[in-house]
Structures are given as structure tokens and as C-alpha cells.
Amino acid sequence: MGVRDAVVVSWAMRQLESLEAWKVARRVSADAYRLTLQAPLRPYFVLADQIRRAAVSVPANLAEGYALGTRPQLERSLRIAFGSTAELSTHLRLPADLRLLDPSAVRPGRDNSTRPIRLLVGLLKRYGAKPMEG
């Protein structure tokens, strides 16, 4: 990596770290991950793993999109983060539906997952992309 490339990556990471969607996604990701560490979910490895994968995918894809540095790559990463956020919101309903956790235990994480969705829709619109066709 040349000096110019390092400067571009450094700039992209500063942009990312100031991005509200990334900050919120990190918080939601950490909260969802913590939920999977609770005793009632530990025996349900597949469900806990799906929640974890979706949770960490959101901020990771935002970081990847900003680091790659081109508009098409950023747009693609925003779409993936958007999909992962919707997936996470869905996964967070299941522990309550199956009565593995009290609904009040999953409600904050599920409710908080709607904020990154709104922020990602705003970013997609900013770059001229629609979050969903149809």
C-alpha cells in the first residue's frame, strides 16, 4: 500500500467513525451479541450464532463499504448492511416467540434495530439508491 492509499483509507475510516449509522449499528450489534450470551439462549447455538452473525455484519459491512472507497462498492455494502439489519430484527423476535426469553428481554434490541434501518435507508437515498425495488 502506497502513501496515497494509506491516506485514502485513513480518511475513509475517519468518515466512518463520524457516521451515526455506524455508531448505532455498533451499539445494536453489541447489545444483540450480549443477548446471545444469556443462559436461556446458550443451548440454542444455531439461533445464537445467526443472531451474532447478523449483528456483527451490520457495522462490518459499513466499514467495508467506506474502506473500499468507490460509490458502487459503498452502495453494495450499504445494501448488505441493510439486509443484515432486517435479518437481525427478525432473528431477535424468535427467542420471545419460542418463549426462550421473556419478550421484555428482546424488545429493546428489536426496537433498537429499527434505528439503523432508518439511517441506512437515508444513506442509500443520499447515494441515489433505493433500499428496495418494487
Cell 451479541 sits on residue? 33
Nearest residue to 15 via CA among 95, 69, 80: 69
Taking each helix axis from N to C terminus, what angle separates 20-36 and 71-91, rounded to the nearest 10 degrees?
Answer: 30
Supply angle C-alpha 100, 29, 15, rounded to 5: 170
Kindly report, residue by residue over 97-117, the tens digit of the pLDDT.
Answer: 888 888 777 777 777 778 888
pTM score, two decimals? Answer: 0.81
Nearest residue to 80 via CA among 32, 126, 25: 25
Query: Out of 55-59, 67-71, 130-134, which region has the weakest mean confidence (pLDDT)?
Result: 130-134
Amino acid at 72: P
Question: What SS3 class is residue 130?
Answer: coil
Specify the long-range contacts of residues 86-90, CB closer than 8 Å, at least 24 apart.
Answer: 86/117, 87/50, 87/54, 87/57, 88/28, 88/32, 88/51, 88/54, 88/55, 88/58, 88/113, 89/113, 89/114, 89/117
Positive or negative, the CA dihedral 73, 17, 86, 92 is positive
Q: Where are the domains of the chain?
A: 3-126
Q: Give 15's pLDDT tier (boundaries 50, 70, 90).
A: confident
Q: Give 134's pLDDT tier (boundaries 50, 70, 90).
A: very low
* CATH architecture under which domain 3-126 falls: Up-down Bundle (1.20)
